A and B are shown apart, each in its own frame.
Chain A
Amino acid sequence: MTAVPDTAAPAATAPDRGDTGRAGALLAGPAAFLLAALLFLPSSGVLLLSLTDYRFGMPDFGFAGLANYRAMLGDARVVNALGNTFLYVGVVTPLSIVLGLILAVLIEAQGRLRGLLRGVFFLPVTATLVAMATAWEVMLHPSFGLVNTALAALGFDKQRFLTDPDIALWSLAAIGVWKLMGYNVLLFIAGMSQIPRDLYEAAAIDGADGGWRRFTLVTWPLLGPVTLFVTTITLIRAFSEFETVAVLTNGGPNGATDMMLFTLYEEAFRYFDIGLAAAIAVAFLGFVAALSILKVRLFDRRVHYV
C-alpha cells in the first residue's frame, strides 16, 4: 500500500505527492481498519493469551512464558489430535484434489448433463455443513443406515462407521473428501474454461487430439495456477476440519477422531484453559501461514510461466 504514491506520482509533480499519498491512505483506510480490527488485533490477542495462564472466568492472570507451548507438546491429547489431523489432511487433500480434477475433466467432456452435474457436485459447498453432517449420521447409522443396508445386501458385515475406533477417522475422511471435492470440481472447471481454445487446436494439429495426450500437453500444465490454489485452499480447509467432528463423533471414540480445531475448542470452552487453547491456535495459525508463504514463495512463479 505504501508503494502506491511512490510509483503513481512522477518526480516532476512533487507537490502532488502528498495529495496522492493522502488519497491513497484514505482509499485504503477502510480495508486497513477492518483488517486490523478483525484479523490483526484478535490474532495478537491470541498470541498474547498463549503466553499467559489465563483461565476463562478467572479474575486475573499472570505471565506464563512458553509454559503453554511446553504443555501443548507434552499433552497426550494434543499430540494425538495433531497426529489425527495430519492423517486426515494427508488422506483428504490428495483424494479430493485428484477426484475433483477427474470429475471436472469428465463433466466438461459431457454435453447435456453438464449443468446438472456441476450442481450436484457443488451441493455440499452450498449446504449447511451441520445439516449435511446430520444427514451423514443417518446414512452411516450402524443398524438402519443406508450404507450398512447396502453392505448387508451385498453380503458384507455391517460396520459401526462412527463408533469403531479403527474406522471412525476414515469415515470422517470420506465425508471430508465428499465435501471438499465439489468445491475443487468447480475451481477446476473454472480453470479449464480459461484455457484458450486455440491451444487445443494447436495440440490437435500437433498430434494430441484427445485423451491422455491432450491432457498432458495442454490441460494439466495450464491448470497449474488453479491446481496450486486448489491445493493450498484444500490443505487449509482440511486442517481446519471441525464440524463433522463436533456433530458426528465428538472426537471419539476414545480420541480416535480428535483433531486440532476440535481440541482447541474443547480446551477453551469445556476446560476453560484459554492459555493452552491460544497456544494451539497459534500453532494452527503457524501451519496455515507456512502453507500460504510456501505457495507464494516457492510455487507461484513455477505455474505462471513468465
Chain B
Amino acid sequence: METVRAGDAVADRAAALSIRGVTRRFGDVAALDDVSIDLEPGEFMSIIGPSGCGKSTLLRSIAGLEEIDAGHILIGDRDVRGLRPSEREVAFVFQSYALYPHMTCRQNLAAPLMMQELSALGRAPGLHRLSPRARRRRADIARRVDRIAAQLQIETLLDRRPLQLSGGQRQRVALGRALIREPKLFLLDEPLANLDAALRNTTRAELHALQRRVGATTLFVTHDQAEAMAISDRIAVMFAGRVRQVGTPDELYRNPVDLDVARFLSQPWLNRIDAATVARRLERGPARPVARIRGEALRDATGVVAFRPEHATVHPEEDRATPGLRVEVERAEHAGSDANLFVRLRDDGTPCVVRIASEGIDDWPPGRPALMRFDMDAAWVFPHPDPDPDAAASAGPAAQVA
C-alpha cells in the first residue's frame, strides 16, 4: 500500500460520508432510529445531544465498533457495512485516548502503521533486520512518526510512556495516532471531555486549525453545545436515537426546529411561558398592541413561547411605557461579564432567566418585583411538549436543562 506523502494531498483523500437510514437496537430500545446524515468532503460536523441520545453509538457504528441492524454507511462511495474497522480507513479518537500504556509515544504513533503495513516478520523486534523491505518500511514509518510529532509539537514526548504525560499531552498523542494514517474520515468521541476547562478551550481551537490544515472529513461527538458551536461547519442534534436537526451553528441557534433543540442550545436554560399567559400580559395597557412573534399574532397561537435568556431584559416595575411580564427576582448568578438573573412569573410561577450585565447584579436583590420583556423577533412559539401543559410549565429548571 503506497501512501500519500504531501500534507496538502490529504485533502484530496478526504471522503464524503453518507449515513442512510441507520438503525441500531439494543433489545427494545432503538439507540439509533433511522439516522441519515450527509457530510461533504472536508467538512467538520459535530453531533450533540444529551447523554444516551445515541451520538456515540452512531460514531462507533461508522467506525465499525458497533454493528448496525439496518441502513447503510458510505465512506466516499464505498459501503462499509460489514467491513472490519481497520478496513474502513477511519481514525478514531477515544474520550479516554486509549493509548497503549506499555508503549512509548513513538511506538503508539507508529502502531497503526506497523499493524497495517508490516508483516509479522517485519513487526518482530530484531527479526526485521533480515528483510530489506521491512527495513525500508520501518525507516519510512519512523519518518512519518517524526513528521506527525513535529506537526503536533510532541517531539520531546516521544520517548515517554502515556502514563508519564499530562491529559493534554496524551490527547495530542491520541490525535497523532489517529492522524498518522492519513484517514479519509476522522471520528472524535468527546476527545476534550477529560481536559480541564482552560485547556479545553485552547485545544478545541487547535483541533479546529488542525482539521482545516489536514482537511479530513470530521465527525465530532460532544455533549458540550458551546464547543460544537465554536468549531463546527455544521451540527447535528440528536435526541433519543433520532436526528432532530442538522444545520450550521447559526441556523441552529436562530431557527431551532423544536423545543428540544432550542432548549439544548440555551444556557443556562430556555425560557418557556404558556402562549396564552404571554398574550394576556403583553396586550395590555392603553394601546392594547397586538403582540406578534415573528409576525404572527400571539393571541392566535397555542403552545409555549420560548426565548433565550440573552433575549430577555428586566425593568423596574414602575417602567410601564411598554407592556411586560410581571416577575419577582429570586436570585442572581455571577458569570463573569454577564450574570443570570433567575426570576419567577407572578401569574403562574413559571421560572425564567434573564441575562444581565454583571454590574447590574446589585440592582436586583431577591424579592424585588420587576417587569420582564423579551425580543419578539428572537422568540418562537412551539407546540406544548407535553399533553398536559401545566405539568410541563411546573417541571422546573432541572427538568428543562436535563
The interface of chain A, by Cβ under 8 A from chain B, is 196, 198-199, 201-209, 212-213, 217-218, 221-222, 224, 305-306
Contacts and interface: CB of A to CB of B under 8 A. Distances in A.
Contacts of A217: 100, 111, 115
A306 B103 CA distance: 10
Nearest to A202: B98
A306 B160 CA distance: 9
A203 to B, nearest CB: 8
A306 B102 contact: no
B90 interface: yes
B100 A207 contact: no
Contact of A207 (B60, B86, B99, B103): B86
Contacts of A213: 115
Contact of A202 (B84, B94, B116): B94
Interface string B106-133: 0000011001100010000000000000
Interface in B297-338: none
A208 B101 CA distance: 16
Contacts, number: 71
Given A205-B63, A206-B115, A305-B102, 20 more contacts: A196-B98, A199-B98, A199-B100, A201-B65, A201-B94, A204-B64, A204-B84, A204-B86, A205-B90, A205-B91, A205-B112, A206-B112, A207-B116, A209-B84, A209-B85, A217-B115, A221-B101, A222-B102, A305-B163, A306-B163
Interface string B63-107: 111000000000000000000111000111010101111110000
B164 interface: yes
A196 B99 CA distance: 10
Contact of A222 (B64, B101, B115): B101
Contacts of A205: 63-65, 85-86, 90-92, 112
Size band of the interface chain B makes with A: 20 to 34
Given A306-B161, A306-B164, A209 B100 contact: no
Contacts of B91: 205
26 contacts: A196-B96, A196-B98, A198-B96, A199-B100, A201-B63, A201-B92, A201-B94, A202-B100, A203-B115, A204-B64, A204-B85, A205-B63, A205-B65, A205-B85, A205-B86, A205-B91, A206-B177, A207-B116, A218-B100, A221-B101, A221-B102, A222-B101, A222-B102, A224-B102, A305-B101, A305-B161
B84 A198 contact: no
Contacts of B164: 306
Nearest to B161: A305
B327 to A, nearest CB: 48
B112 A207 contact: yes
Interface in B144-187: 161-164, 177
A206 B101 contact: no
Contacts of A218: 100
Contacts of B90: 205
A198 to B, nearest CB: 4
5 nearest A-B residue pairs (beta carbon): A207-B115, A202-B98, A221-B102, A206-B112, A207-B86
B252 to A, nearest CB: 30
Interface in B38-66: 60, 63-65
A202 B99 CA distance: 8
A204 B63 CA distance: 10
B33 to A, nearest CB: 24
Nearest to B111: A206
Contacts of A209: 84-86
Given A217-B111, A306-B163, A198 B100 contact: no
Contacts of A199: 98, 100
A198 B98 contact: yes
Contacts of A208: 86, 115
B161 A206 contact: no
Most chain A Cβ neighbours within 10 Å, of B100, B120, B161, B164: B100
Nearest to A208: B115
Contacts of B103: 221
A110 B163 CA distance: 32
Contacts of A196: 96, 98
B166 to A, nearest CB: 14
Most chain B Cβ neighbours within 10 Å, of A201, A202, A205: A205
Contacts of B60: 201
Nearest to B104: A305
Nearest to B88: A205
B110 to A, nearest CB: 10
Contacts of A198: 94, 96, 98
